Amino acid sequence: MIRSLDKEWYTTKEAQELTGEDSRRFTKRIREGKLTKYKKSESQYLIHVSVLEDLLKEKVLLENNYISYKDTAVLLNKSLKAINDLVYVGTFKDTIKVGRVAYISKTEVEEYKRRQSETISTSEVSEITGLNRHEVSSLINTKILKADKVNNYLLSVSKESLNSFLKKVESGYTIKEICKQFNLNSKDIDRYKKISWLKTYDIKGFGERVIEEDYEKFCSLRKHYLTIQDIVKELGVKEGVIRNSIIYKDLVKYEQLHEKVYIVPREEIERFSHTVEGVKLIYHGREEVKDYFNDFMVALGRETEFQESLDIYINWAKKKIGKSKVKNKKLFVSYILNNAEKFFRLLKKEVWELTNNDIQTLINDENTAFSSKDDELCNQRL
């Protein structure tokens, strides 16, 4: 409350008693030309009442809205140097100096204290989690940790968001569980991490784990897409064969993530594996002759409209294979199947609608490899 002043002029001693300011300060300000509302009476200065009223108003303002650096240090349990550093970097912006005493806005100090109780520094997050500063920054950038910028570069992390994240990690999936569920090994895990399919967190006290939302994302990606290595596992074919026969020949639709890193929609592989080209690829280097023959003919049946002719060809081929005495059965069956593929690509109508000359023309076409001994195929049409 501002005291009521009842006269117009006051000695420096009276001014000191009323305002708490050192009398020598009034004299100094007069000599420096900073205080102009004064007069000299005999051997002393007299200060005008308006100067004292302004000082008293300023004092009330300070008491209500500001706190000294020294008191701030005590309140925040910090050194005076630490308070000066916070002012220097702009944490505390609203500061004033009265005489030799510097003050900070109480509002800013209270906000800083509140932030201290509800937030934590990024370095403290690193200490708690065992993550490096880049990993902590990544958690902030992806909104997993909530943080506010201080002075455009210092980050204050919400303790609540950190605790929430740690609970997610604790209830997450271990790498061992992921490997067991999806029949993966450590190389697979590294591969998925490299292409950003799988995000893991190696948190102090928990080990490397996958949180629920990242696990669901991983499951969704595996459900809808396959990497080249996944295709290798599912089809049992070498990686080089997959790349050369599927990717580089554009036999399936795919997406390129990075150089030499491709992913294929699972439905594309499902479709391709039931085509003639797919069956040939799957049985590349395998010796299951009977399965190869049956799967090939089923695939060929999907690609030709001449089903009766295909039945004729299958019956003829089975007899041909049954009579054969060749040692390399796989090679002979491949010869029969390759001819079937070429034959049905050339066929324009059902076999029984063709004349003998039409049949001979098909058999002798340079795109097929039938021999003169295969004439019995002509008779099968009747």
Which of 57, 58, 51, 48 lies closest to 3 in space, CA to CA?
57
Tokens 């008191």 belong to which residue? 71
Confidence of residue 249 (pLDDT cuts 50, 70, 90): confident
Structure tokens at 197: 């399919």
Name residue 201's amino acid.
Y
Q: Is this model's pTM higher than 0.75 or not? A: no
pLDDT of residue 231: 92
* pLDDT one-digit tens code per residue, 9-58: 888 888 887 877 778 888 888 888 888 787 888 788 888 888 888 878 87
* pLDDT one-digit tens code per residue, 112-133: 888 778 888 888 999 999 999 9
- d(C-alpha 296, C-alpha 10), whole Å: 114
Q: How many CB atoms lie within 10 A of CB 340?
A: 22
Tokens 């201080």 belong to which residue? 150
- d(C-alpha 153, C-alpha 133), whole Å: 13
* pLDDT one-digit tens code per residue, 312-337: 999 999 999 988 888 888 899 999 99
* pLDDT value at 106 more than 50: yes
Q: Once rounded to an integer, what is the mean pLDDT over residues 143-167? A: 85
Distances (CA, A) of 162 to 119, 133, 159, 257, 285: 9, 15, 5, 32, 53
Tokens 């004729």 belong to which residue? 312
Confidence of residue 4 (pLDDT cuts 50, 70, 90): low
Confidence of residue 154 (pLDDT cuts 50, 70, 90): low
Q: What are phi and psi of 104, to 5 degrees?
A: -125, 145
Paired sense of beta strands 255-258 and 225-227, if any:
unpaired
- d(C-alpha 311, C-alpha 314), whole Å: 5
3-state secondary structure labels for all residues of 88-153? HCCCCCCEEEECCEEEEEHHHHHHHHHHHHHEEEHHHHHHHHCCCHHHHHHHHHCCCCCEEEECCC
Q: Once rounded to an integer, what is the mean pLDDT over residues 337-352? A: 88
* pLDDT one-digit tens code per residue, 53-88: 887 887 777 778 889 999 999 998 889 998 898 888
- d(C-alpha 62, C-alpha 176), whole Å: 62
